[in-house]
Amino acid sequence: MFSKSFKIYFAIAGLIFFIVGCASRGRPDGGPKDETPPEITKESPPNYSTNFKAEEIRIYFNEYVKIKDLQKQLIISPPMKTQPAITPMGNASTYIKIKIKDTLEANTTYAFNFGNSIVDNNEENPYPYYRYVFSTGDTIDSLSVKGAVFDAESRSADPFVSVMLYEIDSSYTDSIVYKQKPKYVTNTLDSLTTFSIDNIKEGTYKLVALKDENSNFTFEPKTDKIGFYEGEISVPTDSLYNITLFKEVPDFKVLKPSQVAEQRILFPFEGYLKDIDITVESDSIKNLEYRITRDKEKDTLYYWYKPKVEVDSASFLVKSELFTETFKYKFRGGDRDSLIVSPLKAGTISFNEKFTLEATTPFEKIDTTKIQLINKDSIRVAYDVEFDRLYNRYKFKIDLNESENYKMELLPSAITDFYGEVNDTLNFSFSTRKESDYGSIRVNLVNAKLPVIVQLTDDRGKVLHERYTDEYPAVDFNNIEAKQYQLRVVFDENKNRRFDTGNYLKKIQPERISYYPNPEDTNVRANFDFVVTFTLLEE
C-alpha cells in the first residue's frame, strides 16, 4: 500500500503533467511550421458593397488574427479627414472591426488597403494585400493607374512611398499638394517599387509620389521626397507611368543669426551657397574688419569680426546673387575663440590627397620659412601651399613617394590668425602606403552625352571619388583604395559640375543618374588596373 504522502505526490505530479500538456497544445516540438495564412469567413457588409451607409465594418477570420504595422501598411483611398478606429490593436481576435468616424462623400468608391498588416496570432503569417472596397453610390469605380517609382540618386527607391492622384477640376492648382489630401492614393509597400491605384473613376488627374515621412498625405519639403509625372493623366489609360523621387533643395536664403563667441556670429542658411557677402550697417561702428568661413559639416556661415564692438545692436546686410536681406542684430557676450591648428586627416594619406591643416579661427597668413617638411631619411621635401578661404584650410601639395613617412614642423609664428594670435611649435606626421596597395579603374562611356560626372560611391550612395568630363568619353580613377564601389554617371545638363535635384512648383525634374548594372566589375583589387565599359541608355 502506498503511504498517504506518496498519494499526494502522485496527485500533484499528475496535475502538473495535465497543466503542462494543456499549455503546450498546438504545434508539437519538431513538427512542421504553420505557414498557412488566415482565411476570411465573412465580411459585413459584404466586400464591394454599393449604396454603403454602414458605420461599422467587420471582417471575420477562421483563426485569431492581429494587426501589425498598421500605420505604415494601411492606405485608405480617398483619404479620410478623421481616421477610422480599427481594432484589435495589440491583441488577438477572430475579427477586425472598422469604426467609420468620417462623413463619407456621395457617389464615391472607398478602398481600405491593408497591405500585409493582417497576420495570424501564432506564426504571424500575413493575409496578403487585403482590400475592402465599397461605394456610397450605385456603382464601384473600376479604373486604375499603374507604374513604378524610382529614386533620383539611389539605386532603389525607398519603401512605403505614397502614390497619389489629384483630380484636375476648376479648383485645382499645383500648390494643392501642400494643403489638401489627394483624391486617390496607394503605396509601394516594403518590397515593391511598382504601384497600382485602383477603383478610380474616369477623369483627368495629376500623378504625384511622396515619401511621406509624417503620413499626412501633404508635401512638406523639409522632410519629404517628391516625384511627379510632368503632364496630366486621362483615365482610363493603358500606359505605365514612371515617377522619379527627389529631395528638393530650397532656394538659397540666410536665416536669423546668433552670437556663438565673443567676436563670432553664426548665420545658418538653406540651399546652395554661392558668392555671399555680409556687411554691418551702422554709423556707430567704424573700421570693422571681418572674415566669412563655412562650417565643414553644417549649412552654417561664421562671421568673424574685429575689433570688439561697443554698441548694443546693429543691422547686417546679407547679399547673394538671388538673396538680399537685412537683419536687426543685438550683440551678446561669449567666450573668446583661440587658435588651435590641427590636420584635417591624420595617419595615412593617399596619393590623391593633399596634407591639409585647419584651425579653430580664421587663418590670416602663413610663413613657409618657418615650416619644414622632411621624409624618413630627414631629407627636406618641397611643397606648395594652397589656401581655401571659405573652409579655412591650408593645403600642402607634395610629390608623395610610396612607403614614406613624413614629418612637418611648424616653428612659432609660422601661422598667424585673423586676430593676430600665432602658433607655438607644432609637429605633425603622416605616411603613405605602397602604390601596389591601391587599384585603378578606367571607365569607357558609350552613348555619353557630355558633359557628365562619373562617380564612385559606397553602397549607401556616399560619393568617394568623382571625375568631370566634357570632352572625352573615358575617365580614370588611379590609386584608389581597394574595395567595392558603385559606379554611376550624372548627366550634367546645365553644366554646373554638380548634381541638381528637381523642383515641384517649377516643374523641374532632377538630373538623370545612371547606375552601372554589374557592381561586381567595380570591386577594385590591389595592384590591378580595371577597364569598365559603361553603355548609357538613351532616354
Q: Model confidence over 402-426: pLDDT tens digits?
A: 999 999 999 999 999 999 999 999 9
> Cis bond leading into 519, ω under 30°?
no
Same domain, 403 and 448: no
Same domain, 325 and 358: no
Residue 75 domain-assigned (yes or no): no
CATH number for position 160: 2.60.40.1120
Residue 290 domain-assigned (yes or no): yes
Same domain, 448 and 400: no
pLDDT category at 17 given cuts 50, 70, 90 is: very low
Same domain, 147 and 190: yes
Q: How many residues does the chain have?
A: 539
Res 32: pLDDT? 65
Residue 202 has pLDDT above 60, yes or no: yes
Same domain, 429 and 449: no
Please report, rounded to a whole number, the percentage of residues in the chain having pLDDT higher than 90. Answer: 80
Res 456: pLDDT? 97
Res 490: pLDDT? 97
Round to whole Å and give the CA distance between 253 and 323: 6
Round to whole Å and give the CA distance between 204 and 537: 31
CATH number for position 484: 2.60.40.10
Residue 369 domain-assigned (yes or no): yes
Number of domains within the chain: 4
Q: Which helix (H) or strand (E) holds 199?
A: strand 194-200
Res 287: pLDDT? 85
pLDDT, the chain, mean: 91
Round to whole Å and give the CA distance between 470 and 60: 64
218-239 pLDDT, tens digit per residue, is 999 999 999 999 999 999 999 9
Res 390: pLDDT? 97
Round to whole Å and give the CA distance between 33 and 28: 10
* Nine cell digits for residue 404: 614614406
Residue 66 domain-assigned (yes or no): no
338-378 pLDDT, tens digit per residue, is 999 999 998 999 999 999 999 999 999 999 999 999 999 99
Residue 79 domain-assigned (yes or no): no
Evaluate whether 321 touches 306 at the Cβ level (below 8 Å).
no
Round to whole Å and give the CA distance between 64 and 175: 45
Round to whole Å and give the CA distance between 515 and 489: 7
Which of 291, 309, 330 finishes a domain? 330
Same domain, 497 and 475: yes
Q: What are 293's strand-pairing partners?
A: 302
In Å, what is the CA distance from 53 to each residue of 141, 247, 292, 357, 535? 17, 41, 66, 73, 58
Residue 294 domain-assigned (yes or no): yes
Q: Show the domain range for 147.
A: 143-245
Residue 53 domain-assigned (yes or no): no
Residue 58 has pLDDT above 90, yes or no: yes
Same domain, 309 and 217: no
Round to whole Å and give the CA distance between 242 and 148: 5
31-43 pLDDT, tens digit per residue, is 567 778 899 999 9
Q: What is the pTM of this model?
A: 0.81
Same domain, 302 and 376: no
Which of 408, 433, 458 finishes a domain? 433
CATH number for position 371: 2.60.40.1220
Highest mean predicted confidence (pLDDT) among 14-28, 81-95, 111-125, 294-308: 294-308
> What would the mean pLDDT of 289-315 be, rounded to a whole number?
95
pLDDT category at 30 given cuts 50, 70, 90 is: low
DSSP, collapsed to helix, strand or coil, labels residue 445 as strand
DSSP, collapsed to helix, strand or coil, labels residue 350 as coil
Residue 205 has pLDDT above 50, yes or no: yes
80-105 pLDDT, tens digit per residue, is 989 999 998 878 999 999 999 999 99
Same domain, 355 and 370: yes
Same domain, 229 and 312: no
Residue 382 domain-assigned (yes or no): yes
Round to whole Å and give the CA distance between 212 and 441: 39
Which pairs with CB-CB distance under 8 Å and at least 24 residues apart come from 137-141? 137/50, 137/51, 137/106, 137/107, 137/108, 137/109, 138/50, 138/51, 138/107, 139/50, 140/48, 140/50, 140/109, 140/199, 141/109, 141/199, 141/200, 141/201
431-458 pLDDT, tens digit per residue, is 999 999 999 999 999 999 999 999 999 9
